[in-house]
Chains A and B, each alone.
Chain A
């Protein structure tokens, strides 16, 4: 007998439809699987057999052939366990074929017949957005985000067979929790004592979407500051939220209870991360990397100078285009990767922050250290801020600093202003429209010209300063359309030149 079940597998952050065909017929008892299954997928054979037997169902003593169509396409993961099991049951007439008509299935099986969750439910279900789906219980909410059809689940294979036959009930999913407020229980900016410039830079970064680099010694609070950035950002807009959910689901990141990622993600990969871990990849699976998981949110690279230079340079494409293309001999995928980069680095090996007269590093080791951050990457940072260790007085201050909620309000207002003006953040104003969106006062022009003449600013740097100045002007209590000298001056001072002396 032959049976066919519709399912899906995943490549990169996209699902692909897979037709699971099962043939049970005469021949030496055995199980063979066709259609380029990977190792996890091939092991389905033993899981499925054990699950079927522990569910009190029969395993045929016949030749079982499973074909995963389309056959040229590599299938990954354990999500095909359940469709294969159902296919076997249908082919051996333990389950009526019409029960599964027009229904798609994904799920992993345990040896005891329980149905377990798999990563990437949302992108896989998105392959047939109008079909009815059976997914693991954990994935029901995220599946409902992307399909208009019915989504159901049970906890085990036995319950599923009974439910499909109409003699048992379906599992129930509690109604999704109400959406949490924008600034949830994350770390608060009020915990950061002192650091007025770094705090302001964080606010500007949040308001304008600018990439931000903290330069300072260990213990100066670079990580503490960076962690607070996502809580200054407003909720993700719905389409971006959906994209982020898809990528995170595909990467197997634990999704929030509602299934939908509404808050900007914050990712902080360690500096030993490899290039595939950061940008995505792997031989067959092409798992999304950290930069894609951070889509719509913040990617924080602590000790940026310690990352392998080749790994850091991989970020350039993503910073430029907001997506990353990964090609392997067999596949090619494009993953979304529009993130805000926050870097933190020691300025030199001794970590004394290049403080004149205190830093013990010689010129060469300093240059080698900062040289690890290539010029093109350093240039992408609109904001480069030197931070130093807080002094005792600040640490012991009882007066609380401004809270994230207060700053987030200003940030949201400035972001709305920018969005009305250019349809995006200030950091993404295209060069051709910078004159229209960031007009300068005469004094501001004079100031910038002086800076260009002195050779402190390059052409590219000029545009970056103008974008930052635009955000600073937008953050004023009463924002003006024309950018003033003062805004330019602040923008310049938030762009510390490293390794160069400014006079």
Chain B
């Protein structure tokens, strides 16, 4: 593996973003006039053009920080994690963000930056996803990725990770995170993070060393919506980060699509509300392709590897409404445990349903067909 040595401009840009007295807005203003090195030396010597952007107190603090700054350790960090830095005025800055009123002054990237050249679709949703929500996200991501679309998401638990996994299986994905690129949050996703940062792309507007914090996640959601042409919300409750992403997307004129669900399922209340308010429903991946202006020659064909018969039909029907325990299934079938258990076990074996913590759910979404990956 060749080690990429960042240019001095990159290191200084990273250093500027690390200053605690520097706000993104001020930095954006400063960078629109001067190169990063210029801004740095302007602060250092206290030139009027930069001094006027700050209050007296703030500027003294800024100068103090600049004078004490250990720029070598920043360089070492960028090298160690092979992080690339782009400023909002550089040519590498993603085109999708260039016109954005709230664009980050500096972006940190890790992985394959050619991914930024492709069309992007965001798949987001709740962390507390149901099995069917996760399956839907995975299958949507697989098919979009297979068609050459980059799937953007936030590397959170639940829907986000399901989307990343699906996309990695069939194509490319990009993860936008709310902390420095030197760490993985949530820590449990280290393996997914490693894979994305090596072969795909991880994006952050925060310098290395930044810990995750609640206020950074809405900002990350803003970035997700800014990158994507379409934001698909797979599952969401009444309140949730994915609804923030959807709102940000609408403000930027992006298309918001949502996967409809049963009104009895709490994780579908957010997506159903989006559809009521005008978001386009996703009834199959074809709807997303249509929205992207891509033709879908292959129409989704319902996949059935296993013929469902007899009581199994009723069970699948009940589970398509809501998730149930064995107890509830036995009651609804009004028969003995023995008979229900045999059918349920067969459905589990064919992966038509899943069980977690005693609750049964439908695992195969009836929504998206299982298109093969290339």
**Mutual binders A and B:** yes
A498-B327 Cα distance, complex, nearest whole Å = 16
Interface string of A286-311 (1 = CB under 8 A from B): 00000000000000000000000000
In the assembled complex, A200 has its CB within 8 A of some CB on chain B: yes
B373 in contact (CB, < 8 A) = no
Among B67-75, B103-111, B210-218, B355-363, the stretch in contact with A = B355-363
Dominant secondary structure at the A interface: loop
Q: Chain A CB within 10 Å — which of B126, B128, B130, B337 has the most?
A: B337
Contact of B355 among A347, A357, A358, A501 (CB under 8 A): A501
Partner of A496, one of B237, B354, B357, B361: B357
Q: How far is the CA of A358 from the CA of B266 in the complex (A)?
A: 6
Q: Are A354 and B327 in contact (CB under 8 A)?
A: no
Chain B contacts of A196 at CB under 8 A? Answer: 327, 330-331, 337
A: residues with CB less than 8 A from B are 194-198, 200, 215, 347, 353-360, 362-363, 385-388, 394, 450, 486, 489-490, 492-493, 496-503
What mask results when residues 351 to 373 of chain B are scored 1 for a CB within 8 Å of chain A, else 0? 10011111101010000000000
Tell whether, in the assembled complex, residue B356 and residue A200 are in contact, meaning their CB atoms are under 8 Å apart. no
On whether A489 and B341 interact (CB within 8 A), knowing A500-B356, A503-B351, A503-B354, the answer reads yes
Q: Which of B285-303 contact A (CB under 8 A)?
A: none
B236 to chain A, nearest CB (A): 10
CB-defined A-B contacts under 8 Å, sample of 24? A196-B327, A197-B326, A200-B337, A347-B357, A354-B357, A354-B359, A355-B359, A356-B267, A356-B359, A357-B266, A358-B267, A360-B128, A386-B325, A386-B326, A386-B327, A386-B357, A387-B325, A388-B325, A486-B342, A490-B337, A490-B341, A492-B345, A493-B344, A502-B356
Contact B331 A386 (CB under 8 A): no
- Is B29 part of the binding interface, using a Cβ–Cβ cutoff of 8 Å? no
Find the A residue at minimum CB distance from B133.
Answer: A357
A198/B327 in contact, CB under 8 A: yes
Knowing A197-B326, A197-B327, A500-B356, say if A356 contacts B345 (CB, 8 Å).
no
What is the bound-complex CA distance between A497 and B358, given in angstroms? Answer: 7
Q: Which of A197, A215, A394, A499 has the most CB of B within 10 A?
A: A197
| Contact B326 A489, beta carbon cutoff 8 Å | no
In the complex, chain B residues 208-240 whose Cβ is within 8 Å of any chain A Cβ? 235, 237
Beyond A197-B330, A356-B356, 20 extra complex contacts between A and B, CB < 8 Å: A197-B337, A356-B361, A357-B235, A357-B265, A358-B267, A362-B127, A362-B128, A385-B327, A386-B325, A386-B358, A387-B325, A486-B341, A489-B345, A492-B345, A493-B337, A496-B355, A496-B357, A497-B355, A498-B357, A502-B348
- Tell me, rounded to whole Å, the shortest Cβ–Cβ distance linking A126 to chain B: 46
B89 CB–A CB distance under 8 Å: no
Knowing A501-B354, A502-B355, A503-B351, the reply to whether A357 touches B129 (Cβ < 8 A) is yes
Distance in Å: Cβ of A20 to nearest Cβ of chain B: 60
Inter-chain contacts of B267 with A (CB < 8 A): 356-358
Residues of chain A contacted by B237 (CB below 8 angstroms): 357
B354, A502: Cβ atoms under 8 Å? Answer: yes
Which residues on the A side are within 8 Å of B349 (C-beta)? Answer: 450
For B121-151 the 0/1 string (1 means CB < 8 A from A) is 0000011111101000000000000000000
- Residues of B near any A CB (own CB < 8 A): 126-131, 133, 157, 188, 235, 237, 265-268, 323, 325-328, 330-331, 337-338, 341-342, 344-345, 348-349, 351, 354-359, 361, 363
Question: Which residues of A have CB within 8 Å of B361?
Answer: 356
Q: A196, A198, A356, A486: which has the most chain B beta carbons within 10 Å?
A: A356
**Nearest B-chain residue to A356, judged by Cβ:** B130
- A493 near B128 (CB under 8 angstroms)? no
Our pick among A363, A493, A497, A499 for the contact of B157 (Cβ within 8 Å) is: A363
Q: Are A493 and B356 in contact (CB under 8 A)?
A: no
Contact A496 B157 (CB under 8 A): no
Closest 4 CB pairs of A and B: A386-B358, A357-B267, A354-B357, A197-B327
Q: Give the contacting residue for A195; candidates B126, B327, B345; CB below 8 A.
A: B327
Cβ–Cβ < 8 Å partners of A354 in chain B:
356-359
Q: For B157, list chain A residues within 8 Å (CB).
A: 362-363
CA distance A212 to B325 in the complex (A): 17
Nearest CB of B to A460, in Å: 21
Closest to B358 in A: A386
Collect the chain A residues with CB atoms within 8 Å of residue B351's CB.
Answer: 503
Give Cα A303 to B111, complex, Å: 48
Instruction: Pick the residue among B188, B268, B345 that contacts A493 (CB under 8 A).
Output: B345
Q: Could you tell me the distance between the alpha carbons of A196 and B325 in the complex, rounded to whole angstroms? A: 11
Which B-chain residue is minimally distant from A359 (CB atoms)? B128
Q: How far is the CB of A222 from chain B (nearest CB, A)?
A: 12
Quick one: given A490-B337, A490-B338, A501-B356, are A355 and B323 in contact (CB under 8 Å)?
A: yes
**Contacting residues, chain A, for B129 (C-beta < 8 A):** 357
Return A350 CB to nearest CB of chain B, in Å.
11
A503 near B348: Cβ-Cβ < 8 Å: yes
Contact partners of A194 in chain B: CB under 8 A: 327, 331
Enumerate chain A residues within 8 angstroms of B128, measured Cβ to Cβ. Answer: 356-357, 359-360, 362
Instruction: Tell me, in angstroms, the Cα distance from A386 to B356 when the chains sit together.
Output: 11
User: What separation, in Å, do the CA atoms of A373 and B298 have in the docked complex?
Assistant: 51
Q: How far is the CB of A160 from chain B (nearest CB, A)?
A: 61
When C-beta atoms are compared, the residue in chain A nearest to B265 turns out to be A357
Identify which of B235, B348, B349, B357 gathers the most chain A CB atoms within 10 Å of its CB: B357
Query: Are the C-beta atoms of A493 and B325 separated by less than 8 Å?
Result: no
Chain B residues in 8 Å Cβ range of A355: 323, 359
Q: Specify which chain A residues have a CB less than 8 angstroms from the CB of B126 in the assembled complex.
A: 357
Which residues in B have their C-beta under 8 angstroms from that of A489? 338, 341-342, 345
Hey, which chain A residues are within 8 Å of B358, CB to CB?
215, 347, 353-354, 385-386, 496, 498
Residues from chain A with a CB closer than 8 A to the CB of B235 are 357
- Closest chain A residue to B327 by CB distance? A197
A358 to B129, CA, bound (A): 9
Look across to chain B and name the residue whose beta carbon is closest to the beta carbon of A348.
Answer: B357
Residues of B within 8 A of A490 (CB): 337-338, 341
Contacts of B337 in A (CB 8 A): 196-197, 200, 490, 493
Do B357 and A499 touch (CB < 8 A)? yes
A356 touching B131 in the complex, CB below 8 Å, given contacts A502-B354, A502-B356: yes
Residues on A with C-beta less than 8 A from B268 are 357
**Bound-state Cα–Cα, A394 to B328, Å:** 11
Min distance, Cβ B241 to any Cβ of chain A, angstroms: 13
* B335 to A, closest residue via Cβ: A196
A464 to chain B, nearest CB (A): 17
A394 touches B331 (CB 8 A): yes
- With a CB–CB cut-off of 8 A, which chain B residues contact A497? 355, 357
Contact between A388 and B328, CB atoms less than 8 A apart: yes
A360 to chain B, nearest CB (A): 7
Closest to A493 in B: B341
Closest A residue to B188 by CB, please name it: A363
A354 CB, min distance to chain B CBs, angstroms: 4
Whole-angstrom distance between the alpha carbons of A347 and B357 in the complex?
Answer: 8
